[in-house]
């Protein structure tokens, strides 16, 4: 993993990841808002997220010419159409698109345990959607009485319970995948891939600090969303490295 990433592919990966994670996170936040007592304003713009995912997926399909991307992009398109029509069956297509991501990624190049690596990657994407995607979805909301209002605090508490489990799964699967991509600990500072991975890890730790501040009443939601966007950008860079031989 000493070679350099393709920045054009990284940009499309970033757009697709942001869209998919944001779409999954928006669905989670909407479901949390419908729990009694209902929170009417908990309605993130899910269609924008899926439109971004579709745009990124189409860009990757044009540049990579990978047949594995076709069903994923089709699922993203279906999720967008169903979302615009107000159909409740958006989630299955969003989950399918996220689960198909590893088939064209580095996990497919891990042999002979490719299936296990792809499964770990799929779990990583889905749990990241519930956690980081949920943060992006929350940041798109503007409670009329602010984030210190009782309703807003209630939504954050609900999300916090989901995010804690999702973050644990994200961290564990991310660690497992990192050990498969790095041949030695020194790769973290001697290879470009390792340096980007360390920057991503630092961004995740900063997100945790911002989450704690947000839950304690500090207005850190915007900062956390910016950090989440940066972490997704680092993930996109990692995905744009050439596949392992």
Tell me the pLDDT tens digit for each residue of 73-87.
Answer: 999 999 999 999 998
Rounded Cα distance, 8 and 15, in Å: 11
pTM: 0.90
Q: What is the pLDDT of residue 112?
A: 47
Q: Is the pLDDT of residue 34 over 60?
A: yes
Q: Is the pLDDT of residue 35 over 90?
A: yes
How far from the centroid of its chain's Cα atoms is residue 57's Cα? Answer: 14
Per-residue pLDDT of 39-74, as tens digits, reads 999 999 999 999 999 999 999 999 877 788 899 999
Segments making up each domain of the chain, as ranges: 7-239
Rounded Cα distance, 81 and 75, in Å: 10
Q: What's the chain's average pLDDT? A: 88
Q: What is the pLDDT of residue 94?
A: 96
Q: What is the pLDDT of residue 186?
A: 87
Q: What is the DSSP letter of 244?
A: P
Q: Is the pLDDT of residue 106 over 90?
A: no
Report yes or no: 60 and 14 within 8 Å, Cβ to Cβ.
no
Query: Tokens standing for 92?
Result: 């299955």
Rounded Cα distance, 220 and 224, in Å: 6
Reported confidence tier of residue 108, pLDDT bands at 50, 70, 90: very low
Q: What is the pLDDT of residue 7?
A: 86
Q: Is the pLDDT of residue 36 over 60?
A: yes
Q: Alpha-carbon torsion 169, 245, 99, 28, what sign?
A: positive
Per-residue pLDDT of 167-226, as tens digits, reads 999 999 998 888 888 888 888 888 888 899 999 999 999 998 888 877 776 767 788 899
Rounded Cα distance, 169 and 78, in Å: 27
Q: What is the pLDDT of residue 245?
A: 45
Average pLDDT over every residue of 215-244: 83
Q: What is the pLDDT of residue 3?
A: 58
Average pLDDT over every residue of 104-129: 72
For the chain, what is the total number of helices (H) and then of strands (E)?
A: 9, 0
Rounded Cα distance, 65 and 36, in Å: 47
Q: Which of 224, 26, 54 has the alpha carbon at shortest distance from 137?
A: 26
DSSP string, 104-167: GSGGGGS-S-HHHHHHHHHHHHHHHHHHHHHHHHHHT---TT-TTSHHHHHHHHHHHHHHHHHH
Rounded Cα distance, 32 and 166, in Å: 15
Q: What is the pLDDT of residue 243?
A: 53
Q: What is the pLDDT of residue 72?
A: 95
Q: What is the pLDDT of residue 115?
A: 67
Q: What is the pLDDT of residue 120?
A: 87
Per-residue pLDDT of 123-147, as tens digits, reads 999 999 999 999 999 999 999 888 8
């Amino acid at each position: 993993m000493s070679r350099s990433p393709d920045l054009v592919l990284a940009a499309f990966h970033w757009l697709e990841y942001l869209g998919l994670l944001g779409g999954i996170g928006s669905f989670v936040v909407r479901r949390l808002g419908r729990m009694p007592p209902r929170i009417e304003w908990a309605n993130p713009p899910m269609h924008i997220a899926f439109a971004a995912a579709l745009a990124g997926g189409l860009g990757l399909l044009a540049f990579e010419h990978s047949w594995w991307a076709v069903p994923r992009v089709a699922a993203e398109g279906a999720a967008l159409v169903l979302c615009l029509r107000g159909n409740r069956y958006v989630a299955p297509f969003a989950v399918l698109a996220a689960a198909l991501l590893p088939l064209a990624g580095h996990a497919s190049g891990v042999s002979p345990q490719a299936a296990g690596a792809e499964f770990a990657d799929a779990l990583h994407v889905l749990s990241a959607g519930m956690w980081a995607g949920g943060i992006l979805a929350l940041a798109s909301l503007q409670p009329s009485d602010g984030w210190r209002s009782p309703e807003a605090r209630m939504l954050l508490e609900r999300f916090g319970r989901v995010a804690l489990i999702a973050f644990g799964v994200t961290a564990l699967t991310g660690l497992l995948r990192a050990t498969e991509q790095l041949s030695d600990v020194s790769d973290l500072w001697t290879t470009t891939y390792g340096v980007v991975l360390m920057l991503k890890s630092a961004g995740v730790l900063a997100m945790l600090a911002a989450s704690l501040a947000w839950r304690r009443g500090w207005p850190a939601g915007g900062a956390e969303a910016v950090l989440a966007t940066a972490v997704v950008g680092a993930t996109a860079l990692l995905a744009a490295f050439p596949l392992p031989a």
